[in-house]
Structure 1
Amino acid sequence: MVQNPEQRSVLLTGFGPFPGVPKNPSMALVEDLADAFRDTLGITLHKRILSTEWNTVRYEAPALLDAIRPDIVIHFGLCRGANAIRIERSAYNQASRLEDAANILPPSPAILPGGTPRLDTPLSTAHLARGLRLAGIPALPSLSAGRYLCNYLYYLSLDWAAKQSPVRSHPPLVLFVHIPPARGDGGYLEPAEIARGAAAILSDILQAPRLAAHHAVPASHAA
C-alpha cells in the first residue's frame, strides 16, 4: 500500500441501481476499494453510494463535497456498452432528458445554466489508462462521460474543485471512471480485474497526484 506522510482526504463514490440495471456493480466496487485502502497511511478515506437520481446528485453531491472537502475524488459508474475501463477526461454542461431511478427527468437541459460548456480533469487520463494496460487490464482514456447522471455528477464535482482554487493551495483532483459490465453480466472482464484496475488508479493518483493532462480518445456512449 501507498505510504505518504502528508494526510490527504479521499472520497470514493458509486451509484445505486438505475433503469435497466437493478444491481449497479459500482456499489460493490467502491465498498471493496474502500476496505482495501482503509489502513493506508497518509489518507483519510470516505465513501458514499449515491442514488441514481437527478435531484440527489444535484443537491447531495455538492453538500457532500463541502462537508468532506476532499483532496482526491474518484467517482465510479457503470458503462453498459464498454468492454474496458474508461477513464473520463471531460464533463459537459448538458443533461439528457432521460428518466432516473425515480422516473424523474432532469430539472433543465444545462447542469449549471450559464456555466462553462466543458470541464476537464487535471489528471492525465492517458497516463492512467496506459498504466492499467501495462498491468494487463483493458483500459482507455475517454473524452466524454455521456450525458446521464455520471456526467452530471462529474460536472458538478469538477465545478466544485475549480472553485476551490482561490482558497486552497492545491485544488482537489477529481476523476470519473466508467467500469464495464463484468463477465457473467454480459462483459468480458472478471470482477477481480475491474477491482484491480480501480485500485491501480487510486494508487497511481496517490503516488503522483499532480499528473499533467494528456489527450484522450473518443468514448462510446456511456450512461
Structure 2
Amino acid sequence: MSQKTVIVTGFGPFEGHSVNASWVSVQELARLGLTDDIDLIISEIPVEYCTVKTIIPSLWKQHNPHLVVHVGVSTYVQELTLEQQAHNDGYDKHDISGSCPPTQCCVEGADTCIKSEIDMQHVCNEVNNMPIEIKTVVSYADTGRYLCDYAYYQSLHIDKRKAAFIHVPPLGCPYTAGEIAEGLRAVILSISNQL
C-alpha cells in the first residue's frame, strides 16, 4: 500500500488571536493522526503575505501531496466551514508585519476567482452524518480577502483538484481543540476518499 501525503497548515498569531485556534487544532490533529496509509505533514504559516507566497508553492513542490488543506480561524463561524473558492484581488488589509501585496493581488494575471473541484457539499453531508460533536457547513462566499483567502488562492492556483480550506471557530466558541481536530480529521478523510 503506497503512502499518500497530506499537508495541513494552520496560521500563527495575529491581532486579536494571540493563540490561533487553527494551529492549535492542527497540532491536535497531528496527535490524532489520519490513517496508516497517509503521511500527515503539518506546517504553521505566519500571517504574512510574502511568507505565504513562498512557503505554499515550496510545500507543494517538496512533498508532491495527494491533498493540501489550509485551516484558518474566523470569529464569524461557529462550525467547521468548508470554503469552496478563493479570490485573486482586493488584498488591502495589512499583515502582521504591516505589509500588503503591492498590487493587492495574489497571482498576477490569473483568474479573479478559483473554485475548488472538491465537492464540499458532499463532504459536509458525509461528516454531519458521523457521530462527532462538531457540525460542518459549506461556504460559497468570500473567504475574507486576508491571509486565509490569499493562502487558499495560492494552492488552488497550483492544483484546484487537491486544495481545500477550512475555517474553524475560536477555541471554546463552543468547541475544544480536540473536538475541532476530530472534525478536521473527518473532513480530510472524506476529501481524501473523494480524490
Residue 132 (structure 1) aligned with residue 117 (structure 2): no
Larger radius of gyration: 1
Where 1:65 maps in the other structure, the secondary structure is helix
RMSD: 1.7
| Letter in structure 1 aligned against 2:106 | I
Aligned to 1:80: 75
Q: 1:107 Cα deviation (Å)? A: 2.8
TM-score, length of structure 1 as denominator length? 0.80
Query: What stretches of structure 1 move > 3 A for 4+ residues in a row?
Result: none
Asked if 1:178 is matched to 2:167, the reply is: yes
Q: Relative contact order (alpha carbons < 8 A, sep ≥ 6): 1 or 2 greater?
A: 2
Equivalent of 2:33, from 33, 37, 43? 37
Q: Counterpart of 1:209?
A: 194
Q: CA deviation at 1:46?
A: 1.2
Shift of 1:73: 0.7
CA distance in 2, matches of 1:132, 1:43: 19
Deviations 1:20-57 (A, max 9, x none): 2111011111112122226x322222111010101110
- Percent identity reads 29
Is residue 48 of structure 1 aligned with residue 49 of structure 2?
no
Q: For 1:200 and 1:31, how far apart are their aligned partners in 2?
A: 15
1-side partners of 2:177 and 2:24: how far apart? 10
CA contact (8 A) 2:90 2:105 kept: yes
Q: Is the 8 A contact 1:85 1:180 kept in 2?
A: yes
Where in structure 1 are there 5+ consecutive unaligned residues?
A: 163-171, 211-223
TM-score, normalising length: structure 2 = 0.91
Which deviations, in whole Å up to 9, do the C-alpha atoms of 1:150-185 show, x marking residues without a partner? 1101011011115xxxxxxxxx511000001122xx
1:147: how far off? Answer: 0.6
Alignment of 1:1-223 (within 5 A): 5-37=1-33, 40-135=35-130, 136-143=133-140, 144-161=142-159, 173-183=162-172, 187-206=173-192, 208-210=193-195
> AA paired with 1:156?
Q
Q: How many residues align?
A: 192
Counterpart contact for 1:12–1:34, Cα < 8 Å: no
Residue 220 of structure 1 is matched in structure 2 by: none
Per-residue CA distance 1:90-144 (angstroms, 9 max, x = gap): 0111243111111222232221121011111111111122223223522210113
1:148 maps to a residue whose letter is Y
Q: CA deviation at 1:8?
A: 1.0
Aligned-partner Cα distance in 1 for 2:178–2:190? 18
Shift of the 107–34 alpha-carbon distance from structure 1 to 2, 3 Å rule, reads: farther
Deviation at 1:79, TM superposition (A): 0.9
Does the aligned pair in 2 maintain the 1:95–1:152 contact within 8 Å? no
> Within 1, Cα distance between the matches of 2:126 and 2:154?
27
Counterpart residue identity of residue 11, structure 1: I
